[in-house]
Structure 1
Amino acid sequence: MGRTSAGNDTKLIQTGIRLARAKGLGGFTVREVCAKSRVNLGMFHYYFTNKDNFDRKLLATLYEELMKDIRVDVSDRCSARENVRAVLRAIRRFARENRRMLSSMVGDVFGGNEKILAFISRNFTRHISVLFAQLERAHKEGLLRVPDPLSAMLLLAPPVVFPQALAGLSERITFPWPPKVKKALRELTSGDGDGRIDLLLDAVFKGEK
């Protein structure tokens, strides 16, 4: 008779998400996630084998939450601009909730971590496809101020994600920034950010909102 999970795999993943959001993917150990989940080490290895597999499952779980939000908010009944706004809002929420983890992943990417790069290229692209499809639609409808959908995406997506990743990095590492810079970063990454998203959309879309 096989082992029953009793939800232990879910407990481990949910604990891992909390730890990753607080410390980044590399900021906690297998023993720590087991202790906080009250699941023994043997069960961890039974479900995930090692931390690399666990990290991939954790990231996939979080990413599915992002895609669920996007699927709920994006509709053919809405205009291209409304849909782009919905995607950007979902991305911003995701980046804000996971900014410390994302900041550690940025380090992995720039450091050439092949495992993380391969995982991102295979699994973290669907939201970009949804965003690009809506920008292509806007381009066909003559709604863009910029020459093409790619230009629009490059103007919209980085300002939504990068400030959150930078804020996450500054929460993990102490930088000797002047108080004004720290205050500006807090203001940039606080609140719902809808006003800033609308400013970006005004720069890319023409016509009425």
Structure 2
Amino acid sequence: MPRPSQDQDQALLAAGAALYPGLGCAGLSVRRVAEAAGVNPAMVHYHFGSKDAFLRALLQQHYEAMFSALQLTSQGEADVMERLAAALLGVARFVREHRPLIARVWADAQAGEAVAQDFLRANAPRHLGVLMALLQQAEAQGRLPRQPVLTRFSFLMGAVVAPLLLAGGMQAIDAVPPALRAAVDAEMLSDAALERRIEWALLGLASGV
């Protein structure tokens, strides 16, 4: 008997990625994912074993691509401040490109969904650890002054990532004033805007003020 197509698991994951932000863990059904992927619902269980296992694979697939790139960036031979800036840019791009998914994961976790909670517990310390290690290296090399770890980290996230979430939330409910709509992409979401905020944030940390 021929084995089902190797492409079906990826088709299911792609369908799940499109549906999950709008439906969440509770609303996403095996049948709906299979219908969107154009396969038999039994293929979800064949490839993943259960709905929860499918959701875990879906979330992990998105995260691992970002984390692998983050590790490569952090372990390069470039100047530590350049590596830190590149790592922050990688995380910011991930947030920008997956804002609806990230928002849903947080909402599901707060609603008590075990899959979302387990995902955050397992993975949040990984990228936070990489960024904090780079900050500590920069401090050890005298590139950044000694500062409280969480204060420094929260300042960076507030400067670099928070505007992405704010812009995404306002766009989602069509709350961006008409006069500013054209500026949101250029001044908040573009790579140039991300790089500018990262530069300003690191200059602020380096000043020690």
What TM-score range do you get, normalising by the shorter chain? 0.7 to 0.9
- 1:49-78 deviation digits (Å, cap 9, x = unpaired): 433221211110011110122133233412
Counterpart of 1:190?
189
Alignment of 1:131-170 (within 5 A): 131-145=131-145, 147-170=147-170
Distance 1:155 1:112 in 2: 28
Alignment of 1:176-187 (within 5 A): 178-179=177-178, 186-187=185-186
**CA separation of 1:124 and 1:39: change in aligned 2, threshold 3 A:** farther
**CA separation of 1:4 and 1:176: change in aligned 2, threshold 3 A:** closer
Counterpart of 1:200?
201
Q: Is the 8 A contact 1:138 1:144 kept in 2?
A: yes
1:3 Cα shift? 4.0
**CA separation of 1:108 and 1:36: change in aligned 2, threshold 3 A:** closer
Distance 1:202 1:24 in 2: 41
* Count of matched residue positions in the alignment of Structure 1 and Structure 2: 205
Distance 1:111 1:11 in 2: 28
Q: Is the 8 A contact 1:163 1:188 kept in 2?
A: no
In structure 2, the gaps of 5 or more residues are none
In structure 1, the gaps of 5 or more residues are none
Secondary structure of residue in 2 paired with 1:205: helix
1:6 Cα shift? 2.6
Distance 2:6 2:85 in 1: 40
Alignment of 1:80-159 (within 5 A): 80-145=80-145, 147-159=147-159
**CA separation of 1:24 and 1:141: change in aligned 2, threshold 3 A:** farther
- Compute the RMSD of aligned alpha carbons: 2.9
Distance 2:159 2:110 in 1: 19
Q: Is the 8 A contact 1:99 1:165 kept in 2?
A: yes
Distance 2:36 2:200 in 1: 42
**CA separation of 1:46 and 1:168: change in aligned 2, threshold 3 A:** farther
Q: Is the 8 A contact 1:81 1:205 kept in 2?
A: no
Distance 1:79 1:180 in 2: 41
Report the more deviating stretch, 53-62 or 105-114: 105-114
- Which fold has the larger relative contact order, with Cα–Cα distance below 8 Å and residues 6 or more apart in sequence? 1
1:4 Cα shift? 4.2
* Greater per-residue helix proportion: 2
The residue type paired with residue 79 of structure 1 is D
Counterpart of 2:7?
7
1:102 Cα shift? 1.1
Counterpart of 1:39?
39
Secondary structure of residue in 2 paired with 1:164: helix
**CA separation of 1:16 and 1:113: change in aligned 2, threshold 3 A:** closer
Distance 1:20 1:187 in 2: 28
**CA separation of 1:95 and 1:78: change in aligned 2, threshold 3 A:** same
Distance 1:25 1:185 in 2: 27
**CA separation of 1:175 and 1:166: change in aligned 2, threshold 3 A:** same
